[in-house]
Structure 1
């Protein structure tokens, strides 16, 4: 064999010979396009494949071992036959002993029964070479996978040592130039009518090249690129790749696409919407989800009995409704959530035993409840959330080892807690939040290194602390808030750029102020208020657009400034903070926000300036849906105007329902109300 080195060694079962013939021929014939990699990048040859059967041999033989030693990479064709093959296993064993698993490229042909992940498809010896959670680079030729062209380019990019997206684009451009050159040659000898035919041919081939590049980019975006970029937060790159791929589909009639192409288009549109949502581009996300919903509807209509297609369409309808809700398009959002529920019910009729589809109905109810609560339709929201809770409970019992139904059940209890609070039902609000917290603690006990679940536990502690404070349990509230503050400090130390954790950490300081102020500890309240200011400024520096002004952060901060100014005997400072609240809320006209919280903030701002008429004008029409905190503000306004009977009615209502925040108790005592 001399000094000959091989670009790769193909390990396969001879039952896959036809596929290997194609791959071997394509690799050795492939010439890398200019600019795809290093200037000295050489063609992908020679590629070693053994054409002899080894069934009668005692071992691999010296020639095979030497070829393996002299090969830069090992390409393993992963099929049912190769997973059973002794000789594929021996070739893998020998190659790993000299090269390591990072030099292995897998070509997936099929999946074993009961396993669809990449690692499940590998021959046993190769599977054992990767640590838990690890897997090799894989070109997926399974149905619904990469397709032949993208799979080939994945293998070629690895052998060349170049980026896959770069190779895709340059390969497509080279094909376009070749088509143009071919057409130009034909034009030189054609008559006019022939020339027109060639131009039409050129346009068609150019369109086909663009379509091939779009399809490759979409498959790459949905697969390898997403896995690489999402964990490190490079959503801008994903957005750019997705937009470029979908620019092609914008000019294609869906009727001209087959089912697989249409499905890829819908998935790419959905992913683009998710990326833009995470980047805070809600209008761009709505555009992508709207396109995705139209595409997935067209695909579902082709085969109404295909549950998977219907499921994908339901997801797009949900995303569109969710973004509409965040854009304050309330009527569109409610119609969308109800449509999502109808599609979920259709799914369960197609397959009543499919747990995932049964959970979709629960998600639909949960989402509708969220919208209804935001609209102040609290009783309707409570019914929707309780329906979701029942469904999530059933799902958790049906799949005791599954984590997701349990997480969803915890969230349903949390939403029930928020709704009971809006209804002024303090003991029930505390009870539901405590149940949610117990469920999350149980999940974290099973997976103590799960950081997002840890953050969820601390966030739940803050919510439970608020409900404890509503009941007058100041010491319990302080203990819960202090634990959450310590927890979020640890998390933000681990990841100082995590905006969600920084957001929670800022909320923890705001809650610490409320507890300290309720306990009469003004010095501590002042210190944690200053820390809250620093944390909110940090958030604003990370994302100035999103955190320019938020009611639940900046609004609460201004309310605390009002309280400190009033304690310090500085009425003008209190009024200045109140005016800032008014101006900020006025500047948010037409933007989505927490309507209930913003109404309370506006009431506080008017009250701090002595404008009790304005407090009553804003709060009185919403009296039946106001939170206890907002009702307390309304009672103070009535009392200031001498409307004692109306103030007394509110105070008695709140006391009867268990509301016992220290400032409210002091007001009802000092004013002789109740």
Structure 2
């Protein structure tokens, strides 16, 4: 470590990973470098005996009133940045900002990735975005993780010990194989001792528990010893057992912890007792979640929630207790949401929101509390969308938007804050379209695009921002032509002015990452809306060219095997454009046949709740296009039947559909009304 760096490394992590960060911090600072390597000259200076000091904000920050200044100072004086990578970290604006600032202050410094959970490059691989573990700023302009060292702490990866050695090798700049042999010798000596000690500790806990219950004269002393032992078992002992592969002992420890607390009356526990209980079950929930046992994780997080609720009841004004229970409420709500239990998710997210607002009321200028409250409002908004309560969702998204705007105003150079703000405008556009009409939705999208273009520079060095910018732009173009054949010439031209230049960016996006399924989806949709706009403009050749581009992008193996409503709807949209182009070329019979097949497939949808955004539009547009061709063929009665069926199917959900669906629906009703008047 160079002389001007006080810290050998800075650990950046999400608050959700705090317990794990503490464990890693302890493991690194207590690691003893093999004697034969100490003093060896490397790029980072002479190899030290110990890897101290390592900065972790909860332990190392002074009582400075300026948290940002303290963090920047620590980053400036750290030789290496270790990023604990998880889905929570990938979504954390603070982690992302710390990566950016470290690179700014230490251009030659190393950034090491410590993968805790989730999946690296999940988005690029077309898997759910919620599984992505790399924060955006971990990536270089080409979209790949910029640093070569990634220590994978997951069981499916390197495992704890090998990943730890990878980090140590990166910190002191030595080859990994120089550490492995020495470490194996240490582990062989320790495994017997640790296993025996673990069994002895487990037996000791049983004995202490017995005395805590039956020997009243020593109850308090025994209880304190048992609680200390529990905390040791769930923290330090876990750190020792995982590397030597004795998780069976850890499972037994977990069972004894649960049995111990089942014997206790929560009403007789102190706040400290309940706090230890909450931490114990929260840790067990994290272990279960990492291992993929979501049901068990859900139960343990709910137990932690119950514990922190009792603590808060005893000390309702303590910010630490409020924050602790807010986090419990979030995790309980999050796992309820993952289990599609929207009622429980709503109740917990409301609690999370209200507690976050309570923290914010006490410290209105605290940016961390502002962010907590903003995320809480946004999370609740997504639950309300699932409940189809769009006005409630709009209210929550508006609150989130105001808070994100405040954070961005205070941190004008923060890319993460601006991305949060742009995303908030996107949610506002989503709910405004069915509630307030396309004009309100278009204004929200313009605000989102303005942030991307003017404040984030169009994401010139960030492919994710470029993708999000294109998504917002084609959404705006879609609204310009939402009236379909009723769209004005000005609206059609405005859509083309957006979509034609976007084609070049779309091609660059796919060329940059051909296997990224979500990016390919954005590009295909852009081309399909361009085809639609060109048809409305009367340029059949250009419409056909855009459709053929979309079709070519759909031949990629990743797209062919993609499953889900969003991909099905996009394939149906492509088929609709093909039928419209066939009709424009004069092949009415082929177009009618294609539309009949499409309509038959769309009529099989029993529940529109998950298909309101795109499915309803396709159903309405296919129905109207087919009805118009039937009118041309003189089959007026069949055309009327198709329109009536569509109107009847969509009437129950029409208040929640997007603008283009509403326009098609209104067009069909207007034709039916004219026919009824004519018949009368």
TM-score by length of 2: 0.59
1:524 to 513, 523, 542: 542
Query: Aligned partners of 2:477, 2:6: CA distance in 1, in Å?
Result: 61
Partner of 1:72: 37
Residue 496 (structure 1) aligned with residue 514 (structure 2): yes
Q: Describe the superposition over 1:449-489 as per-residue Cα deviations: whole angstroms up to 9, x where unpaired.
A: 22222222222221222233346422221232233332232
Preserved contact between residue 445 and residue 472 of structure 2 (Cα < 8 Å): yes
Residue 310 (structure 1) aligned with residue 362 (structure 2): no
Query: Aligned partners of 1:582, 1:166: CA distance in 2, in Å?
Result: 64
- Quote how far apart the aligned CAs of 1:253 are: 1.5
- Quote how far apart the aligned CAs of 1:438 are: 0.6
- Quote how far apart the aligned CAs of 1:400 are: 3.7
Partner of 2:533: 515
Preserved contact between residue 506 and residue 536 of structure 1 (Cα < 8 Å): yes
Q: Are residues 243 and 407 of structure 1, via their aligned partners in 2, closer, same or farther at CA, if it must alter by over 3 Å?
A: farther
2:358 to 346, 353, 361: 346
Residue 106 (structure 1) aligned with residue 51 (structure 2): yes
1:416 to 428, 435, 438: 428
Residue 323 (structure 1) aligned with residue 338 (structure 2): yes
1:120 to 74, 77, 94: 74
Residue 253 (structure 1) aligned with residue 258 (structure 2): yes
Query: Aligned partners of 1:597, 1:518: CA distance in 2, in Å?
Result: 19
Query: Aligned partners of 2:561, 2:401: CA distance in 1, in Å?
Result: 35
- Quote how far apart the aligned CAs of 1:556 are: 2.4
Matching of residues 358-397 of structure 1 within 5 Å: 358-373=370-385, 375-397=387-409
1:557 to 574, 580, 601: 574
Partner of 1:593: 610
Q: Describe the superposition over 1:238-258 as per-residue Cα deviations: whole angstroms up to 9, x where unpaired.
A: xx9999988974774296699
- Quote how far apart the aligned CAs of 1:575 are: 0.8
Partner of 1:575: 596
Partner of 2:137: none
1:216 to 239, 258, 277: 239
Partner of 1:617: 648
Preserved contact between residue 394 and residue 431 of structure 2 (Cα < 8 Å): yes
1:312 aligns to what SS in structure 2? Answer: helix
Preserved contact between residue 432 and residue 438 of structure 2 (Cα < 8 Å): yes
- Quote how far apart the aligned CAs of 1:630 are: 2.2
Query: Aligned partners of 1:244, 1:540: CA distance in 2, in Å?
Result: 43
1:455 to 467, 490, 494: 467
Q: Are residues 248 and 531 of structure 1, via their aligned partners in 2, closer, same or farther at CA, if it must alter by over 3 Å?
A: farther
- Quote how far apart the aligned CAs of 1:362 are: 2.8
Partner of 2:346: 334
- Quote how far apart the aligned CAs of 1:349 are: 4.4
Partner of 1:474: 492
- Quote how far apart the aligned CAs of 1:119 are: 9.5
Partner of 1:161: 179
Preserved contact between residue 643 and residue 668 of structure 2 (Cα < 8 Å): yes
Query: Aligned partners of 1:271, 1:322: CA distance in 2, in Å?
Result: 19
Preserved contact between residue 234 and residue 280 of structure 2 (Cα < 8 Å): no
1:503 aligns to what SS in structure 2? Answer: helix
Gaps of 5+ in 2: 8-25, 82-101, 115-152, 154-159, 170-175, 202-228, 262-272, 628-638
Preserved contact between residue 348 and residue 357 of structure 1 (Cα < 8 Å): yes
Q: Describe the superposition over 1:322-361 as per-residue Cα deviations: whole angstroms up to 9, x where unpaired.
A: 535xx4x544443343333223233334544422223333
1:161 aligns to what SS in structure 2? Answer: helix
Preserved contact between residue 420 and residue 428 of structure 1 (Cα < 8 Å): yes
Query: Aligned partners of 2:406, 2:464: CA distance in 1, in Å?
Result: 25
2:610 aligns to what SS in structure 1? Answer: coil
Query: Aligned partners of 1:433, 1:600: CA distance in 2, in Å?
Result: 20
Partner of 1:634: 665
- Quote how far apart the aligned CAs of 1:286 are: 7.0
Partner of 1:87: none
Q: Are residues 152 and 582 of structure 1, via their aligned partners in 2, closer, same or farther at CA, if it must alter by over 3 Å?
A: closer
Preserved contact between residue 106 and residue 137 of structure 1 (Cα < 8 Å): no
Query: Aligned partners of 1:563, 1:333: CA distance in 2, in Å?
Result: 43
Query: Aligned partners of 2:352, 2:500: CA distance in 1, in Å?
Result: 41
Q: Describe the superposition over 1:165-186 as per-residue Cα deviations: whole angstroms up to 9, x where unpaired.
A: 9999978854466569999xxx
Q: Describe the superposition over 1:549-590 as per-residue Cα deviations: whole angstroms up to 9, x where unpaired.
A: 63542342343344345443121122112223344x35xx69
- Quote how far apart the aligned CAs of 1:437 are: 0.7
Residue 292 (structure 1) aligned with residue 323 (structure 2): no
- Quote how far apart the aligned CAs of 1:434 are: 0.9
Query: Aligned partners of 1:362, 1:523: CA distance in 2, in Å?
Result: 47
Q: Are residues 494 and 520 of structure 1, via their aligned partners in 2, closer, same or farther at CA, if it must alter by over 3 Å?
A: same
Query: Aligned partners of 2:516, 2:248: CA distance in 1, in Å?
Result: 26
Preserved contact between residue 596 and residue 626 of structure 1 (Cα < 8 Å): yes
Q: Are residues 350 and 133 of structure 1, via their aligned partners in 2, closer, same or farther at CA, if it must alter by over 3 Å?
A: farther
Q: Are residues 377 and 103 of structure 1, via their aligned partners in 2, closer, same or farther at CA, if it must alter by over 3 Å?
A: same
Preserved contact between residue 374 and residue 401 of structure 2 (Cα < 8 Å): yes
Matching of residues 426-445 of structure 1 within 5 Å: 426-445=438-457
- Quote how far apart the aligned CAs of 1:639 are: 4.4
Query: Aligned partners of 1:321, 1:543: CA distance in 2, in Å?
Result: 30
Preserved contact between residue 620 and residue 664 of structure 2 (Cα < 8 Å): yes
- Quote how far apart the aligned CAs of 1:644 are: 5.7
2:51 aligns to what SS in structure 1? Answer: strand
Q: Describe the superposition over 1:517-573 as per-residue Cα deviations: whole angstroms up to 9, x where unpaired.
A: 2222333333333333443453745864x4476354234234334434544312112
Number of aligned residue pairs? 502
RMSD, matched Cα: 5.3
Query: Aligned partners of 1:333, 1:429: CA distance in 2, in Å?
Result: 27
Preserved contact between residue 422 and residue 627 of structure 1 (Cα < 8 Å): yes
Q: Are residues 416 and 521 of structure 1, via their aligned partners in 2, closer, same or farther at CA, if it must alter by over 3 Å?
A: same
Preserved contact between residue 347 and residue 357 of structure 1 (Cα < 8 Å): yes
- Answer with 1 or 2: which has the greater Rg: 1
1:414 aligns to what SS in structure 2? Answer: helix
TM-score by length of 1: 0.60
Q: Are residues 624 and 120 of structure 1, via their aligned partners in 2, closer, same or farther at CA, if it must alter by over 3 Å?
A: closer
Query: Aligned partners of 1:530, 1:372: CA distance in 2, in Å?
Result: 39
Partner of 1:134: 110
